[in-house]
Structure 1
Amino acid sequence: MITGVAEARLDQLARLWEEFMTLRFPPGFYQREPQGSCMVMMDTTLADCVASAMDGPLDGRNRELLQARAAALGEILPSIRDDEYATKYFADLHGMAVLATELDHARRE
């Protein structure tokens, strides 16, 4: 059962996802690995988890992956501020990951 809180988060996440899907991956980050993190893998993993969260409750593995990668991206964001576009792109991705975590939590309540 989806609660009012979960429904509101799902609607917000769907809007953000639609906007995010129009963005292109930051070209300078195909090879750049801030703090040793492959940003292509970060993008792919978080986008997959966000999409899965929009489809329904996450399983334990995806829930842990979403939380761990969102936390890691949150730590990386300050180190990429030299690229304005990449900062926006990854900040948007991070925001969606946090919202997807909240959505998943609200569904389980």
Structure 2
Amino acid sequence: MIANMSKPGLNLLSRLREEHMRAPFPPHMRRREIEGEDMVLLDAEIAGCASSSLPGSLDESVNEILLGCLAAVEKVLPLIDDEGGAIEYYERLREMAALVAEIGNANAR
């Protein structure tokens, strides 16, 4: 269990991650860049950081990757069209990234 993270926060992160793993990737986002961000890579990096955070705390390098991804998803989200549920897909990624960043910040204290 992650130190300094509330049980409701961990439960929410776990639920979001499970939902995300079941959700199909929006097909029109494959091989697509928005504002210089590769949308498949952004998905993979945030999902990977979320998975890494569940069994224990994040190391500094993963936390740095996550913070960059959080900034990237915030930048591109307003530019995503909703074809194939892409907005919901990337909003869930943003929420996961924010929760994982919260975990990293709590552990840094």
Any stretches of 5+ residues in structure 2 without a counterpart? none
Report the AA paired with residue 3 of structure 2: I
The residue number in structure 2 matching 1:85 is: 85
CA distance in 2, matches of 1:76, 1:101: 18
The residue number in structure 2 matching 1:106 is: 106
The residue number in structure 1 matching 2:26 is: 26
The residue number in structure 2 matching 1:17 is: 17
How many residues get paired? 108
Identify, as 1 or 2, the structure richer in helix.
1
CA distance in 1, matches of 2:33, 2:3: 38
Secondary structure of 1:21's counterpart equals helix
Which runs of structure 1 show a deviation greater than 4 angstroms over 4 or more consecutive aligned residues?
none
The residue number in structure 2 matching 1:59 is: 59
Any stretches of 5+ residues in structure 1 without a counterpart? none
CA distance in 2, matches of 1:2, 1:40: 30
So what's the TM-score if we normalise by structure 2?
Answer: 0.89
The residue number in structure 2 matching 1:2 is: 3
Percent of pairs with identical residues: 35
So what's the TM-score if we normalise by structure 1?
Answer: 0.89
CA distance in 1, matches of 2:38, 2:44: 10
CA distance in 2, matches of 1:103, 1:10: 9
